[in-house]
Chains A and B, each alone.
Chain A
Amino acid sequence: MAKHKTPLLDQLESGPWPSFVSDMKQEAEARAKNVNNVEYQIPVDVVEDLLGVLELSFDDGTTHWKHGGIVGVFGYGGGVIGRYCDQPEKFPGVAHFHTIRVAQPSGKFYKTEFLRQLCDLWDFRGSGLTNMHGSTGDIIWLGTTTPQIEEIFYELTHNLNQDLGGSGSNLRTPADCIGQARCEYACYDTQDLCYQLTLDYQDELHRPAFPYKFKFKFDGCPNGCVASIARADMSFIGTWKDEIRIDQDAVGGYVSGDLKPNAGAHSGRDWGAFNIEKEVINLCPTECMRYENGKLEINNRECTRCMHCINVMPRALRPGVQTGCSILVGAKAPILDGAQMGSLLVPFVEVNKESGYEEVKAVIEAIWDYWMEEGKNRERLGELMKRRGFQSLLEAVGIDPIPQHVSEPRHNPYIFWKEDEVEGGWERDVTEYRKHHQR
C-alpha cells in the first residue's frame, strides 16, 4: 500500500517509454520488503516520500527543494550538492536529501560486479535512486543524509577504489565519447586522455580555486557525440592532417548498391537508390570531391574534415593516419551573455600517450593560469575571452595568430595598436612638427 496517493504520477506509468514512476514504485516496494535484510541507514520509506513530494509538485506546479551549501567530504570542495525538502513534516524521509556525484569511468563501460557493489552501497546508505548518468557524466546518487556522506566516501575509496566527481568552481568530471574502444572514426584515444587528465588534475577537481566551473570533454572526431564544442570550456576534438583513406572498390560497392550507405542509418524509409553525386559530392561543403570514371578523388588540401562523406560511406572512406586533436575553448550554456560555441585555439596537436600528453597539458595549464589571474568571480573562460578579446588569450597561451582562428577577419578597423608595434613609437617632438606645419 503506497504511503502517498499519486494520481498524477500514476498517469506516467502508461505508454511505452520506460516509466521512471514505475521504477520508483518498484524501488519503494523493494525497500519495504527488504528481502536481503539490509540495515538501511536512511529512512526505509525515502522513495515513498520522494514520490509524495514529486506528486505535490505535479499538483502545485512548483518545486519543493531548497538548496544547501553543504559540499561534501572533509577537504573536498565539491562532489556533493545539498538539498532540503521545504515540506519536511509531510515528507520526513526526504527532509535531508543530498546528491552525491561519483566519477564515472571513461567511456561509461562497467562490469556488473562493480555496478552491484555501487548498488549495494547506495542501497545501504542512500535512497537507492540514481541517475545513469548526470549531464556532465557523473554517476549521480540522489538523496542521502549528512551523516552518511563521509561514510559513503570512506567505503567508496577504501572498498571500491572509487572517488567522487566535481561540482562548484572546480574542474568538473571530464567526459568522453566511446572513441577507439568501439568507433572507427576516433582519431585519438579519448578514454585514455580523459582518464589521464582526470587523474593528473585531481587537485583541480576536488579543491575549488577557479573563478567558476571548468569542463573538459573529449570527442574522437568532428561528429562530436559528447557535444564538447557546445558545452566544454576546453573541447578536444579528434582530427587528422593527411589524406582521407579511400578504398575505391568499396566506393564502387556503394555506387552499385551492394553496400548500404550511411551504415544503414537511413533504412527506415525508401530514399531511392544511392546517388553519390547528389548525396556525397554535391553536399561536400568545400566542393573538394569528384567522382569520375568510377573513381573518387578528394582534394584533401581543401577538405575541412566535416565527416559527411565518411559517415555516408564508412566502408570506403576512413580518416587519415596522421591524427591528433583540435582544441577549442570557451563553450558554455547561455547564461549570462548568451550561449557560446567553442572557438578554435589549437588547430592540431598530437595526442601523445608516450609523452604523458605533455603537449596537451601545456595548453591547459597556460589557459588556467590566464583564467585564474584574469577571470572575475563566476566568469567562465568563454566570457573572459569575450571581455578581453581573443588576442589576449593568444598572448597568454603563447600561440601565434593564424587565419584558422577566425571565420572571417574583423568588420571594423578599430585596431588597438600598441606603441611597440608602430615604427618610431609614440613619443614625438611637436617643435620639430611645427617647423613644417603652422598653427
Chain B
Amino acid sequence: MEYEEQKQLMIDQLMKKGKTKSKFYFSDLAKILDMKPREAKKVVNKLVEEGILEFWSSGSTSMYGLKGQGKQTAAEHEE
C-alpha cells in the first residue's frame, strides 16, 4: 500500500471510531495499517510530521488522535 492510501485509511478509520473516542494506542494504529509495529511506526511518524495525527500523553502512557479531535482539545490549546 502506498503512503497516500495508508493516510486515507488511517483518517477514515479514526473518523469512523471517532464517534465514541478520539485517542488511540499505537497498537490500534498498527492494526489499522495491518503492519508490524516497527513498520507501522514509520508511517505513523510521517503522519505526525504532516500534522494528520497528534500525540496525547497521560504522562505515563502515550496515545494518538487526529489533530484537533477530542473533548479536551479546546481547553488544552488554551484559546
Inside 8 A of B48's CB, which chain A residues have their CB?
Answer: 75, 77, 207
One of B61, B77, B78 near A378 (C-beta < 8 A): B61
Count of chain B residues near A, Cβ 8 A? 27
Chain B minimum-CB-distance residue to A210: B26
With A77-B57, A378-B61 in contact, do A68 and B76 touch (Cβ < 8 Å)? yes
Q: Is there a chain B Cβ closer than 8 Å to A305's Cβ?
A: no
Q: Which residues of chain B from 43 to 63 have a CB within 8 Å of any chain A CB? A: 44-45, 48-49, 55-63
Q: Is the CB of A212 within 8 A of B49?
A: no
Q: Is the CB of A169 within 8 A of B26?
A: yes
CB distance from B57 to the nearest CB of A (A): 4
Q: Is the CB of A212 within 8 A of B60?
A: yes
Q: Which residues of chain A from 359 to 381 have a CB within 8 Å of any chain B CB? A: 369, 372-373, 376-378
Q: Is the CB of B38 within 8 A of A369?
A: yes
Inside 8 A of B49's CB, which chain A residues have their CB?
Answer: 75
Q: Is the CB of A168 within 8 A of B37?
A: no
One of A76, A145, A168 near B58 (C-beta < 8 A): A168
A201-231 interface bits toward B, Cβ cutoff 8 Å, 1 = contact, 0 = none: 0010001111111000000000000000000
Measured in the bound complex, the distance between the Cα atoms of B25 and A372 in whole Å is 12
Measured in the bound complex, the distance between the Cα atoms of B57 and A170 in whole Å is 11
- Interface class of chain A by DSSP: loop
Measured in the bound complex, the distance between the Cα atoms of B50 and A191 in whole Å is 36
Q: Is the CB of A69 within 8 A of B44?
A: no
Q: Is there a chain B Cβ closer than 8 Å to A67's Cβ?
A: yes
Q: Is the CB of A96 within 8 A of B55?
A: no
With A96-B78, A168-B57, A169-B26 in contact, do A372 and B37 touch (Cβ < 8 Å)? yes
- The CB with the most chain B CB atoms within 10 A, among A75, A77, A212, is that of A77
Q: Is the CB of A77 within 8 A of B55?
A: yes
Q: Is the CB of A207 within 8 A of B41?
A: yes
Count of chain A residues near B, Cβ 8 A? 33
Inside 8 A of B77's CB, which chain A residues have their CB?
Answer: 146
CB distance from A410 to the nearest CB of B (A): 31
Q: Which residues of chain B from 18 to 73 have a CB within 8 Å of any chain A CB? A: 23, 25-27, 36-38, 40-41, 44-45, 48-49, 55-63, 72
Q: Is there a chain B Cβ closer than 8 Å to A70's Cβ?
A: yes
CB distance from A79 to the nearest CB of B (A): 9
Inside 8 A of B63's CB, which chain A residues have their CB?
Answer: 69
Q: Is the CB of B36 within 8 A of A167?
A: no
CB distance from B7 to the nearest CB of A (A): 17
Q: Is the CB of A67 within 8 A of B58?
A: yes
Q: Is the CB of B59 within 8 A of A81?
A: yes
One of A146, A168, A213, A369 near B55 (C-beta < 8 A): A168
Q: Is the CB of B59 within 8 A of A168?
A: yes
Measured in the bound complex, the distance between the Cα atoms of B36 and A346 in whole Å is 26
With A75-B49, A372-B37, A377-B27 in contact, do A81 and B61 touch (Cβ < 8 Å)? no
With A69-B56, A77-B57 in contact, do A209 and B76 touch (Cβ < 8 Å)? no
Inside 8 A of A84's CB, which chain B residues have their CB?
Answer: 75
Chain A minimum-CB-distance residue to B78: A146
CB distance from B58 to the nearest CB of A (A): 7
A85-96 interface bits toward B, Cβ cutoff 8 Å, 1 = contact, 0 = none: 000000000001
Q: Is there a chain B Cβ closer than 8 Å to A324's Cβ?
A: no
CB distance from B18 to the nearest CB of A (A): 16
With A75-B48, A209-B37 in contact, do A168 and B61 touch (Cβ < 8 Å)? yes
Measured in the bound complex, the distance between the Cα atoms of B26 and A170 in whole Å is 11
Chain A minimum-CB-distance residue to B59: A81
Measured in the bound complex, the distance between the Cα atoms of B62 and A210 in whole Å is 9
One of A75, A170, A372, A376 near B62 (C-beta < 8 A): A170
CB distance from B79 to the nearest CB of A (A): 10
Q: Which residues of chain A from 377 to 435 have a CB within 8 Å of any chain B CB? A: 377-378
Measured in the bound complex, the distance between the Cα atoms of B61 and A326 in whole Å is 29
Q: Is the CB of A82 within 8 A of B61?
A: no
Measured in the bound complex, the distance between the Cα atoms of B77 and A81 in whole Å is 14
Q: Is there a chain B Cβ closer than 8 Å to A319's Cβ?
A: no
Inside 8 A of A238's CB, which chain B residues have their CB?
Answer: none
Q: Is the CB of A377 within 8 A of B25?
A: yes
Interface pairs (23), CB distance under 8 Å = A67-B59, A68-B75, A69-B58, A69-B72, A75-B48, A75-B49, A76-B55, A77-B48, A77-B62, A78-B55, A78-B57, A168-B57, A168-B60, A203-B45, A207-B41, A208-B62, A209-B38, A209-B40, A210-B26, A212-B60, A369-B38, A376-B27, A377-B25
Closest 8 CB pairs of A and B: A168-B62, A208-B62, A372-B37, A69-B56, A77-B55, A169-B62, A71-B57, A209-B41
